[in-house]
Each structure stands twice: as C-alpha cells, then as structure tokens.
Amino acid sequence: MSNIIKLKTPFTNESIASLKAGDMVSISGEIYTARDAAHKRLVDLLDAGKELPFDIKGAVIYYVGPSPAKPGKVIGSAGPTTSYRMDAYAERLMEVGMKGMIGKGKRAKDVVDAMVKHKAVYFAAIGGAAALIARSIKSVELVAYEDLGPEAIRRMVVEDFQVMVINDLSGADLYEMGQAQYKVS
Amino acid sequence: MREIDAKDITEAVARLCVEANTDLSADVVGAFNSGLENEKSPVGRAVFKALLANAEIARSEKVPMCQDTGFAVIFAEIGQDLHIKGGSFTEAINSGVRKGYQDGFLRKSICDPFTRANTKDNTPAVIITDIVEGDKLTLTIAPKGGGSENMSRVMMLTPSGGKKAVMDYIVQRCQEAGSNPCPPVIVGACIGGTPEKAAILAKKALLRKIGTKNPDPDLAAMEDELLTRINNLGMGPQGLGGSVYAMAVHLEKHPCHIASLPLAVNICCHASRHKEVTL
C-alpha cells in the first residue's frame, strides 16, 4: 500500500492534481453530507438560479446518512452510502465547484468523464465500517433540510478521515484496475 | 394451550433489534479472520482489519456497526399450539421495532415509495411467518441494509438452461453488484418455487451460519464451485481488487412448476446481522 497523503479541505485544482487512483488519502477539515434527496434539492435550487445553502467552491461532499448520536457523542455511526444514486446530480455540482465526493461503489461513465472535465475526485470510504469512521468526525452542525432526518445536509469537521482515490483527474478507475490485477482466468 | 403475552414479544423484538445491530455474530467475525488469512491483496487485508476493529467498537460501545441499521425483517415460526394474548401479533412486533430503533439510537430508514416521507420509527417491519408444530414462538430479527438489498434480483429462467444458467446468473449478478453491496458479502440464492417463494428462501439462506453447507451434496458442490468462481472474478473486499469478494454462498432449492426455473439472489453485506430467540 502506498503512503497516506494528507489533504485539507476545501480542495483546489492544485491540491488534487497529483492524486492517483489507489492512493490512500487522509482528509481533514470541513466536509458536507448529502444523499440523493438532498442532492435533488440542491440541483432544484441551481435550476431556479438560487444560492446553495453552503459554499460549494472546493467542497467535499460525503454520501452518508448517519445513525442518531447517543448522548455525549457528536454523531452516531457514519459510513458511506452507495454512490450511484447520486450520479444523476453529480455533474451539476461539479459545474459549480464541488471538488470531491466520498462514497462507495462504482460511478457511471458520464460522471467519471465529468470529473476529468471539471477537475474533481471520487474517493471511497470503507462501506460498513461506520463505527470506526465515526471516530474521525469531530463536530457536526445542521446546514439545511432538517425535515430529511438522516438525509439532511450537515457540515462535519473531520480529522484524519481515511479514504481511497477511486477516480482521479485522468479518469482512471480503481475498481477496474483492482479487479484486473486479481482476476483469475 | 400455552399462552404468551404480546408485550413479551415486543420486549424481545426491541432487545434483538439493538443486539443484531451492535453485536456481530461469532461466525461472521470468524469469517473476517479467515478472510484476513486468505486475502492476497494488501488493501483487501486492510479492509478485513478495519472490519474487525469496527465490529469491536460496535460491540464495546453498543453502537451500530453500520449506520444503515436496515429494514427490520422478522422471521417468525409460530407453534400451532400457542396462543398470543393481550394484543395483535403484528402490532406487538412493530412496537418492538419502534422501541428498539428509538431506544437503541438506530437509524430510521423506512419511507413512502413515492413521497419518500420517512415513517420516523422504522416500521412497518417485514414479517415472514411459518406455522410449525409445537407451542413455541421463534423469532429471528434480520435487519438488512439498502445497499446490499438493492443488488437483489428475482429471475425467471428457462428450464432448459439448467444448473449452468443458474450458476452463470449468480456469478453475473455478483459481477454487476461489484462494490455496491459492501463486500466481503454472503450470497444467498434459492432455485425453484414461485418468484415470491424463491425470494423469501434466498433471504432465509442468509441466516445460516457462514460457511455451513446445504445438506444436499449437489447443492453443497454448487456452493463450493460458485464461491470459487465469484472470488476468481478478482473484485475482492470492497471491490477494490482481491481474492475474497464472497465469504460464503448459501443455496436453497424448492420444487417448481414444470414450465419454470425461478431463481432469487439476495446478497448480504459483511454486516450480516441476525439474532434469534425462542419464547
């Protein structure tokens, strides 16, 4: 395994330019949570020419719907949800400056192409390692859409959130590379 | 006739919802340890280590191992000589789900299919009942996450396709599912029955202890062959590349119509959660 690359949010074109599919990355700083229901509302706002409820420039969006926080904790368990459900909305957010997405599972080809075009990176966190991942989340604050419950948009401060680059700026895909390496014919 | 109180059912369901979501069974932890030994990819081994650490945090802190605490699927074997008093059986189960998901800080993930409005208490449960001999009630709580459930399929094959078509479809389903159902997975499948019967038995196959074989030697041989073929695809833990995509394949079969060859596939993520109680 390669060494862990440390990255701070928000991202810039320069800060993500050298990332390669397969790199282990430790993310620290503010990230935003959103799943499909919240994505739909964000895209509806853009379509209506309105402001988004947070600054999308350089932002990293984490596809997660956490479990409720126990008393004294900032959050419950918080692993990634499957990313393809956000494929229909991802390019619109890249167009206005989103630079990173964290989820799990393969993205559609048009989303990977959009990442190359708009310079954005897709990372996977370990699906189902939700109690472990919660330890890297230091604070959580509601940003919008409280009515969506676990699907509301929240701002999280994370420290050393370990993820892996799936799609880099060249359009490489770690899922395809990994399978090709270990396939037994 | 033996009697049990509906509120005892509620209490048991509430407790088991929390236990299933926080305390990963020993057979699954054992399969993680075997996976760690057998996995060829360093990244894949790191995934197994993370999953072992995650299970330990969940157990010791009594927090859910996965934020998706699932649809509450409940299998109930009801003895025909048992009488349930003091309320409705269905409501007793749903009350237990409501209480367990609320008190246990579990995520409420059930919504209207069109408005997507959340029911806010994770009900209704899916309750699958069997009437059996005796005067006992056995409840198995099997919360199932959406990511792996979305990879499930029911396929009506043509009888001429036979075993080959069945096996090819199961392997193809895993290839298409890829990283989505949170591998390392357990693959449950039922061949035969009707579409709805096959779907239920495919899910029930996931309740078997990991790696226990179907007692039918033909099915057991198919399980072994499928496990090899699926893992030879090279997708590995989390689909990141490696040698252990599936930890087990569990097959069931049921007689079917002369015109049909139904096949249901139900893939379970590594958080294979199920707890049982007999009342």
In this prediction, residue A3 carries a pLDDT of 85
Which residue on chain B is closest to A65 by alpha carbon?
A: B67
Which tokens belong to B44? Answer: 């894949």
pTM for the model stands at: 0.95
What is the longest distance spanned by two Cα atoms in chain B?
59
Rounded distance between C-alpha atoms, residue A132 and residue A125, angstroms: 11
Q: What is residue B275's predicted lDDT score, i.e. its pLDDT?
A: 97
- pLDDT at position A2: 59
Sorted by sequence, the CB contacts under 8 Å of residue A96 that are 6+ apart come out as: A46, A52, A56, A57
Residue with tokens 């990372």: A123
Q: Average the pLDDT over B2-20 and give the result.
A: 98
| Residues of A belonging to the active site | 39
- Mean pLDDT score, B142-148: 96
A40: CB partners within 8 A, 6+ apart: A89
> Across chain B, what does the average pLDDT equal?
97
CA distance A155 to B199: 40
**What is the distance between the alpha carbons of residues B39 and B49, in angstroms, rounded to a whole number?**
11
Cα–chain center distance at B188: 8
Q: Which residues does residue A70 pair with via DSSP β-bridges, in sequence order?
A: none
Contacts of B135 (CB under 8 A, 6+ apart): B1, B2, B79, B81, B82
Domain ranges, ordered by start, for chain A: 4-182
Coarse DSSP helix, strand, coil percentages of chain B, rounded to the nearest 5 percent: 40, 25, 35
According to the model, what pLDDT value does residue A62 have?
Answer: 98
Task: Express each pLDDT in B219-265 by its tens digit.
Answer: 999 999 999 999 999 999 999 999 999 999 999 999 999 999 999 99
pLDDT band, residue A32 (cuts 50/70/90)? very high
Mean pLDDT of A71-84: 96
Which B residues in the span 34-93 are in contact with A, Cβ-Cβ below 8 Å? Answer: 40-43, 46-47, 50-51, 53-54, 57-58, 61, 63-69
Q: Which of residues 243-262 of B touch A (CB under 8 A)?
A: 243
The distance of B63 to chain A (nearest Cα, Å) reads 7
Confidence class of residue A1 from pLDDT cuts 50, 70 and 90?
low
The per-residue pLDDT for range B30-56, each reduced to its tens digit, is 999 999 999 999 999 999 999 999 999
| Tens-digit pLDDT profile for residues A122-158 | 999 999 999 999 999 999 999 999 999 899 999 999 9
CATH architecture for segment(s) A4-182? Alpha-Beta Barrel (3.20)
Q: B23 vs chain A: nearest CA distance in angstroms? A: 12
Residue listed under structure tokens 């408005």: B115
Question: Which residue do the tokens 């099997």 mark?
Answer: B142
Return the bridge partners of B141, or none.
B74, B275
- Mean of the per-residue pLDDT values for chain A? 96
Average pLDDT of the segment spanning B88-110 = 97
B111 interface with A at CB cutoff 8 Å: no
At A78-122, the pLDDT tens digits run 999 999 999 999 999 999 999 999 999 999 999 999 999 999 999
Scan residues 209-248 of B and list those with Cβ closer than 8 Å to A: 232-236, 238-243
pLDDT of B84: 97
Q: Report pLDDT digits (tens) over B112-121.
A: 999 999 999 9
- Tens-digit pLDDT profile for residues B204-218: 999 999 989 999 999
- Output phi, psi for A173, to 5 deg: -130, 110
Q: In 3D, which of A88, A90, A109 has the Cα closest to residue A101?
A: A90
Would you state the pLDDT for residue B73?
A: 98
Residues of chain B in contact with residue A129, where contact means CB-CB under 8 angstroms, are: 50-51, 53-54
Q: What distance in Å separates residue A151's CA from the closest CA in chain B?
A: 10
> Within 10 Å of residue B20's Cβ, how many Cβ atoms?
28
Strand ranges for B1-40 from DSSP E: 2-5
